[in-house]
Amino acid sequence: MTFNLSRRAFTLTALSALAAPALISPTKALAQSGRVVAATFPGTWEDAYRTILTPMVKEAGYDLTIAPALAQDQIAKLMASPGQPPYDALLVSPGQSAILIEAGLIEKIDPTKLKNWDKLAPMAQNEWGPYVTVEVNGIAYNPEVVEKPSGYKALFEDPQYAGQVAQIGFGSNTATMAWTEINKLYGGTYDNMQPVFDLIKDHLKDLIIATSGSNQMTMYQQGEVAVFMASTGNVAKLKELGMPAEFAHPESGSPAVPVSIHLVKGASDPDAVYAYMDAAISAAAQTQLGEAPTAMIPTNTEVPFSSVVAEYVTPEQLAAAVYPDWAAINKHRAEWTETFDRIVSQ
Amino acid sequence: MIRKDTLLAWPMIAFMVLFFLAPLLLLLGISLRGAEGGWGIGNFVAFLDDPFERGVLVRTLLLGAKVTGLVSLLALPLVMLYWHAGPRLRGVILVCALLPMLTANVVRTFAWVVILGRNGPISQTMLALGLVDRPFSLLYTEMGLIMALAQIELPLLLLPVFSVLNRADRATLDAAEVLGAGRWRAWFSAIFPQIIPAVLAGWVLVFASATTSYVTQSVIGGARLIYLPRFVYREVGVLFQWPSAAAISILLLISTGIIMLGLTMLARHERLRAHG
């Protein structure tokens, strides 16, 4: 038996098929004027930004949708949909910013559209988007299991840390900064990472290699590890969860990394993105974000370090922090990632 | 001109073409894109030429085989129990088999983090029994990963087998026993052949699911056990090498596809079907 498909039925079917992608594409549906879809790191960042910034952006007349995604995932998603960005604003570190700039995925901002721009510390006035905080990294440790590490070298040379330290590969910014600093301590440079790879090979049986920062936190909570490379925010979060955790500054200085908000090229409503940026750098928001569990270091000069932040970092320690060379890191990162995987693979 | 009796299938066919076949062809297209532009099979050759990367593929397939083996061992007593159980107990077994599927894979995986850890029940029980002298962890070990995946994938084998057992003819078992077969022999010669196609279908599901289970492999297996799904993620999310990631995905698809096709053909084999 055969069936003649009428022109009307064919038209309806074709229209339905054309409409289907729009129905199932939430990012497309969200990409409207008056709304900003902002990528934020999952977890404490996501919760804090949603709670604190959404009402502020609303007050400015825009809707804010927080979309949790790791920095590398944000880039991967942007690259996957050129011309139709899934986000209007990104939250990344300089390592990722360099990739985004090179790929032409973000644009320079107009500071005159930010009321709070002049209140930012000069180092936070980045032409590609304001720095909203500076993450200070170091060593998180469980004081009930191990003594406070004197620095990175102790983790490899003091036997009390054997089998207690979690590490991750070069996919993570925190880990990458730690590895490059450790490499320097053992005589390496950005162009010669062999010392750190030799060190990993020599201590492989004592190292627990996790897949991500959050995976490390899970292992720490379960008592599987007692030490891991972390930001002050990670330690604040563990403490808030009732875990025994302390933060140690490495002897060579704590690697620091600013976190910036970027305006995505082709954002559906740039004014909404500016409203979001302005809220994130405002004194009101940064005062709240300075408290636990986010404990963010403010970049707005009107906001003093909160007592929680001061527990981990003093302005002097921040001034002595080490700012890695992300251009050099990005140049070698792929090669380091592959080498690391080959060394640790069982 | 469209056959009227196939009309109902067209939306599904259109859906599959739009959302499965088209993305698959797109993936294939991306995999053939060269790093310096142009087209070719360079990404495939680069992967297969590298002993480390080839090893990751083999390890992934072996993981699927090991999980399928353990799932089969775990399922056997449950299947026997189900066969001998009355309707009420069958209901209980079915609910127990289904229960894990009612929670998200992520939840089940994190439950296993607790179970396999050095403070978890396995380590603590063995310590209490004096079988080990200090707590130990099965996290980040292949044994721990296989155990977790086996429990997570178990329903995928049990459900098709239970479904066949519900329709299995008990008279064949009685006939075998009347003809002098012992209990075990009667079961294996009269009932087992009937469930073989369901077992093979279950194996296909378990194998495919175990080899592609990115979350469980990453969380339980850690970074030192590298399997293809995490390798693909690394290419996309860390190295931004989309063509290479697409080529690896295609290779994973082909290699698991060949094994699944083999199992499916086996399930359709005349001798097996004759028993089904």
- Interatomic CA distance for residues A152 and A220, integer angstroms: 18
Q: Please enumerate, as own/partner, the contacts of B255-262 that have beta carbons within 8 Å and a separation of 24 or more.
A: B255/B57, B255/B61, B256/B61, B256/B64, B256/B207, B256/B208, B256/B211, B256/B212, B259/B61, B259/B64, B259/B207, B260/B204, B260/B207, B260/B208
Contact call for A346 and B239, based on CB within 8 A: no
Amino acid B225 reads: L
- Interatomic CA distance for residues A228 and A212, integer angstroms: 11
User: Quick one: pLDDT band at residue A8, thresholds 50, 70, 90?
Assistant: low
Contact call for B218 and A224, based on CB within 8 A: no
- What's the total number of domains in chain B? 1
Min Cα distance B8 → chain A (Å) is 12
My answer on whether omega of the bond before A293 falls inside 30° of 0, hence cis, is yes
Supply angle C-alpha B31, B33, B39, rounded to 5: 120
Contact call for B110 and A210, based on CB within 8 A: no
pLDDT per residue of chain B (276 residues) written in tens, 0 to 9: 567 777 888 999 999 999 999 999 999 999 999 877 789 999 999 999 999 999 999 999 999 999 999 999 999 999 999 998 999 999 999 999 888 888 888 899 999 999 999 999 999 999 999 999 999 999 999 999 999 999 999 999 999 999 999 988 888 888 888 888 888 888 888 888 889 989 999 999 999 999 999 999 999 999 999 999 999 999 988 888 899 999 999 999 999 889 888 888 887 776 665 554
pLDDT 10s digits, B110-156: 999 999 999 999 999 999 999 999 999 999 999 999 999 999 999 99
**A244 close to A201: Cβ distance less than 8 angstroms:** no
- Tell me if chain A has a CB within 8 Å of the CB of B12: no
ipTM computed for the complex: 0.83
Min Cα distance B19 → chain A (Å) is 10
Residue to substitute from B60, B110, B234, B235, interface A, most A β-carbons within 10 A: B234
Q: Residue B76's pLDDT is what? A: 92
Q: Please enumerate, as own/partner, the contacts of B32-35 that have beta carbons within 8 Å and a separation of 24 or more.
A: B32/B243, B33/B242, B33/B243, B33/B246, B34/B243, B35/B241, B35/B243, B35/B244
Helices of type H across chain A: 7-24, 26-30, 44-48, 54-59, 71-80, 94-102, 152-157, 173-185, 194-202, 213-221, 232-240, 270-280, 283-289, 307-312, 315-319, 326-344
What residues pair up with A120 in beta bridges, in sequence order? A300
- Interatomic CA distance for residues B123 and B121, integer angstroms: 6
Residue B68 lies in domain: 44-274
Q: What are phi and psi of A53, to 5 degrees?
A: -85, -30
**B267 close to B201: Cβ distance less than 8 angstroms:** yes
Q: Which residue of B has its CA nearest to A95?
A: B238
Chain A residues bordering chain B (beta-carbon distance below 8 Å): 1-5, 17, 20, 70, 72-73, 75-76, 79-80, 99, 168-171, 208-212, 215, 218-219, 222-224, 333-334, 337-338, 341-342, 344-346
Among A5, A99, A168, the residue with its CB nearest the CB of B223 is: A168
Q: Regarding the domain with residue range A35-134+257-320, which homologous superfamily does it belong to in the CATH classification? A: Periplasmic binding protein-like II (3.40.190.10)
Q: Residue A2's pLDDT is what? A: 45
pLDDT 10s digits, A123-140: 999 999 999 999 999 999
Q: What's the whole-model pTM score?
A: 0.83
Asked if the structure places residue B15 within a domain, the reply is: no
Asked if the structure places residue B59 within a domain, the reply is: yes
Q: Residue A6's pLDDT is what? A: 56
- Tell me if chain A has a CB within 8 Å of the CB of B113: yes
**pLDDT of A256 over the 80 cut:** yes
Residue to substitute from A211, A220, A329, interface B, most B β-carbons within 10 A: A211
**A285 close to A278: Cβ distance less than 8 angstroms:** no
Q: Residue A222's pLDDT is what? A: 92
Asked if the structure places residue B35 within a domain, the reply is: no
Instruction: Read off the pLDDT of each residue in A218-232 and give the average, rounded to a whole number.
Output: 94
Among A5, A72, A223, the residue with its CB nearest the CB of B117 is: A223
**pLDDT of A88 over the 60 cut:** yes
Cβ burial, residue A336 (10 Å; 0-12/13-18/19+)? buried
- Interatomic CA distance for residues B201 and A228, integer angstroms: 44
Q: Residue A12's pLDDT is what? A: 52
pLDDT 10s digits, A173-218: 899 999 999 999 999 999 999 999 999 999 999 999 999 888 899 9
Q: Residue B1's pLDDT is what? A: 58
The dihedral over CA atoms of A14, A19, A24, A29, expressed in degrees to the nearest 10, equals 170
List all residues 6 or more positions away from A288 whose beta carbon is below 8 Å from its beta carbon.
Answer: A48, A52
Q: Which residues on chain A are in Cβ contact (under 8 Å) with B120? A: 222
Q: Residue A21's pLDDT is what? A: 46
List all residues 6 or more positions away from A340 whose beta carbon is below 8 Å from its beta carbon.
Answer: A169, A170, A197, A200
Amino acid B17 reads: V
Contact call for A344 and B230, based on CB within 8 A: no
**A51 close to A38: Cβ distance less than 8 angstroms:** no
Most confident segment among A18-32, A69-83, A194-208, B167-181: A194-208
Asked if the structure places residue B262 within a domain, the reply is: yes
Contact call for B239 and A334, based on CB within 8 A: yes
Amino acid A289 reads: L
Q: Specify the residue for token string 């009796």.
A: B5
Q: Which residues on chain B are in Cβ contact (under 8 Å) with A342? A: 52
Closest of A99, A131, A135, A173 to residue A261, by C-alpha = A131
Q: Residue B162's pLDDT is what? A: 95
Contact call for A224 and B52, based on CB within 8 A: no
Q: Residue B272's pLDDT is what? A: 61
Q: Residue B264's pLDDT is what? A: 81
**pLDDT of A24 over the 60 cut:** no
Boundaries of every domain in chain A? 35-134+257-320, 135-255+326-345
- The domain defined by A135-255+326-345 folds into D-Maltodextrin-Binding Protein; domain 2 (3.40.190)
Contact call for B240 and A17, based on CB within 8 A: no
Asked if the structure places residue B25 within a domain, the reply is: no
Q: Which residues on chain A are in Cβ contact (under 8 Å) with B139? A: 219, 222, 224
Mark which residues 210-239 of B lie under 8 Å from A by CB: 218-219, 222-226, 230, 234, 236-239
Instruction: Read off the pLDDT of each residue in A227-245 and give the average, rounded to a whole number.
Output: 92
- Tell me if chain A has a CB within 8 Å of the CB of B141: no
Cβ burial, residue A119 (10 Å; 0-12/13-18/19+)? middle
**pLDDT of A26 over the 50 cut:** no
User: Quick one: pLDDT band at residue A272, thresholds 50, 70, 90?
Assistant: very high
- Round the CA-based radius of gyration of chain A to a whole number and report it: 23
Q: Please enumerate, as own/partner, the contacts of A113-119 that have beta carbons within 8 Å and a separation of 24 or more.
A: A113/A271, A113/A274, A113/A278, A114/A274, A114/A277, A114/A278, A114/A281, A115/A278, A116/A278, A116/A281, A116/A282, A116/A283, A116/A300, A117/A281, A119/A281, A119/A283, A119/A300, A119/A301, A119/A302
The dihedral over CA atoms of A171, A173, A174, A175, expressed in degrees to the nearest 10, equals 30
Q: What are phi and psi of A65, to 5 degrees?
A: -115, 120
Mean pLDDT of chain A: 90
Give yes or no on whether A35-134+257-320 and A135-255+326-345 have one common fold. Answer: yes
Among B218, B239, B240, the residue with its CB nearest the CB of A211 is: B218
Among B2, B139, B222, the residue with its CB nearest the CB of A3 is: B2
Closest of B4, B56, B40, B69 to residue B206, by C-alpha = B69
Q: Residue B270's pLDDT is what? A: 64
3-state secondary structure of A320: coil
Closest of A118, A182, A221 to residue A336, by C-alpha = A182
Supply angle C-alpha B18, B21, B27, rounded to 5: 110
The upper half-sphere exposure of residue A243, i.e. CA atoms within 13 Å in the direction of its Cβ, equals: 24
Q: Residue B184's pLDDT is what? A: 85
Min Cα distance A201 → chain B (Å) is 13
Domain of B77: which CATH number?
1.10.3720.10
Supply angle C-alpha A32, A33, A39, rounded to 5: 65
Each residue of A280-315: b (16+ CB within 10 Å) or e? bbbeebbbbbbebbbbbbbbbeebebbebbebbbee
Q: Residue A28's pLDDT is what? A: 42
Min Cα distance B119 → chain A (Å) is 7
- Tell me if chain A has a CB within 8 Å of the CB of B135: no
What are the Cα distances from residue A341, in Å, to A197, A210, A266, B222, B226? 11, 12, 36, 12, 8
List all residues 6 or more positions away from B160 whose beta carbon is below 8 Å from its beta carbon.
Answer: B198, B199, B201, B202, B205
Q: Which residues on chain A are in Cβ contact (under 8 Å) with B14? A: 17
Specify the pairing of strand A131-141 against strand A246-248.
antiparallel
